[in-house]
Chain A
């Protein structure tokens, strides 16, 4: 079974600094998708970034980028120029190609210090 591990239950960063959230996963498959979702307190979960495993190029979305290391089964999220609005629980998730199911990690709670 596929599993996703986020080893940092909590992280904090100073506003305007850069922070990296870690995620590793376990799979024997070669074709899959990886996601980072953000869940602010008492607000809906929203997609931050999506990566296709067959693409070597790391996905980027404005201040958010990933470091995808397929051989190491690692998928970290880098947030540049952190803003107060980035404070949230961040979930890493895996989806096997052809399946609809997301497997989530346990989440990392990110605090932004003004």
Chain B
């Protein structure tokens, strides 16, 4: 089945130690998104790629960056994780165009020691 795959499912890192989360898709969708979701809250969009074009949300901290080396893969880099960055990180994809629904991965739960 076509899907959105996030690795790892759980990630533990130390305060201030860079960490990378990965996302891959077999849907061949143009758009890939990264969301941060804290406990019992709505997902918060960090940024998205429309093809190769990167779109950052205005309130996304500079500590968060992303790379999309090809259509299938997208990475979330957290340069110096703080305790407040502990959260579930969701990757999603969609076709480009009008009102296309987003397809989500299982998420990566990030813990900061």
Contacts and interface: CB of A to CB of B under 8 A. Distances in A.
Interface of A: 32-33, 35, 37, 43-47, 50, 52, 91, 95, 97-98, 100-102, 104-107
A100 B107 contact: no
Interface residues of B, number: 26
B41 A106 contact: yes
B99 A44 contact: no
Interface string B35-66: 00000111101001010000101000000000
Chain A interface helix/strand/loop/mixed: strand
B37 to A, nearest CB: 9
A50 B101 contact: yes
15 contacts: A32-B99, A33-B99, A43-B106, A44-B105, A45-B90, A45-B104, A47-B101, A47-B103, A91-B42, A100-B55, A100-B94, A102-B43, A105-B42, A107-B41, A107-B42
A54 B1 CA distance: 32
A101 B45 contact: yes
